[in-house]
Amino acid sequence: MIKLDFITSLNMTDQELYEKARLYGQNALLWRQKFTGLLPEVNRRRLHERHGFGSIFEFAYKLAGLSEQQVKNALNLEASFSDKPMLKALLENGQVSVNKLVRVQSVVTAENEEFWANQAQVLSKTALETLVRDERVASKPKVLPGQDLHLSEEVTARLQELQSKGIDLDTLLTEFLDQREGKIAEEKEAISEDLSRARSRHVPVRIQRIIRKVHGSKCSIQTCHRPAEQLHHTQTFGLSHRHDPHYLAPLCKAHHQIVHTINLKVQEKRSPVALL
């Protein structure tokens, strides 16, 4: 006699119900990925036809609820990765979602395949999309920025008045910017010299202020225009235990994840045993 040991949803606590729903959802996504990875071979063998399905799209929809576009993506990726065995294996084994693989498709080559295969496995979809965008921007020829400064009417009028007096605005503004940068450098140095061992990862307000003076409110990655959400310690905090403003950079969530992933890869190469 088999004894069924289960708890119905009515008898679960809110936390138990949430955890079970989360577990089932994660498993459903995993098996859906694995199913999607089989589609190119199913299509190649015309297996769907031998089992009474009108098309590969009907097969995928009825068995796993996949949309026509998802099926097309899987078939296109399989063809696109014909000379990229690592990415092809990730697709066929269902290790990485089609949504992620589609994002790297436009930048991957036979030479950089290993890098993108690794990133697709460890980064979130948003972070991966950000990294792909960075790659595209970096590969474009550098173009000098246009005159797209947005100055208030008052500042514009004052600058025009100075220019009308024969004052060289380039020299004036360069001197002002140099003075500003010099003052910020002095403030950072004073803070750095006064630092003691930090008790937590929380960055003090006075240090946050100086970082904002340097980087503004945006992510410090030049190609990124998202708001900064987190301060990244470029000098590993776990080793230094210091919030040195020389080694802090404001990053958006996606770039913060990317940076930590890259740092982890570097650590693994330097000390593989220590991380076991």
pLDDT tens, position by position, 61-108: 999 999 999 999 999 999 999 999 999 999 999 999 999 999 999 899
Cα separation, 136 vs 119, in Å, equals 16
% of the chain exceeding 70 in pLDDT: 89
Q: Would you say residue 1 has pLDDT above 50?
A: no
Other beta carbons within 10 Å of 56: 23
| pLDDT of the residue at 89 | 94
pLDDT tens, position by position, 152-197: 999 999 999 999 999 999 999 999 999 999 999 999 999 988 888 8
Residue 6's pLDDT band, with cuts at 50, 70 and 90, is: low
| pLDDT of the residue at 2 | 45
CA dihedral 92, 82, 98, 43 (to 10 degrees): -60
In sequence order, what are the beta bridge partners of 227? 218
Contacts with 221 (C-beta within 8 Å, 6 or more apart), sequence order: 134, 251, 252, 255
Work out the mean pLDDT of the chain and round it to a whole number.
Answer: 86
Q: Going along the chain, which residue ranges are E strands? A: 230-233, 248-251
Q: Would you say residue 250 has pLDDT above 90?
A: yes
| pLDDT of the residue at 120 | 93
Tell me the torsion sign for CA atoms 120, 123, 126, 127. negative
- Domain ranges for the chain: 12-136, 170-270
pLDDT tens, position by position, 127-155: 999 999 988 888 777 655 545 678 899 99
| pLDDT of the residue at 144 | 53
Beta strands 248-251; 230-233: pairing state: antiparallel
Cα separation, 79 vs 33, in Å, equals 18
Q: Going along 120-265, which residue ranges are E strands? A: 230-233, 248-251
Residue 198's pLDDT band, with cuts at 50, 70 and 90, is: confident
Contacts with 125 (C-beta within 8 Å, 6 or more apart), sequence order: 97, 99, 100, 103
Average pLDDT over residues 104-118: 93
Contacts with 201 (C-beta within 8 Å, 6 or more apart), sequence order: 237
In one-letter notation, the amino acid at residue 81 is F
Residue 264's pLDDT band, with cuts at 50, 70 and 90, is: low
| pLDDT of the residue at 12 | 83
Between 93 and 26, the higher pLDDT residue: 93
| pLDDT of the residue at 143 | 58
| pLDDT of the residue at 96 | 92
Q: Would you say residue 272 has pLDDT above 60?
A: no
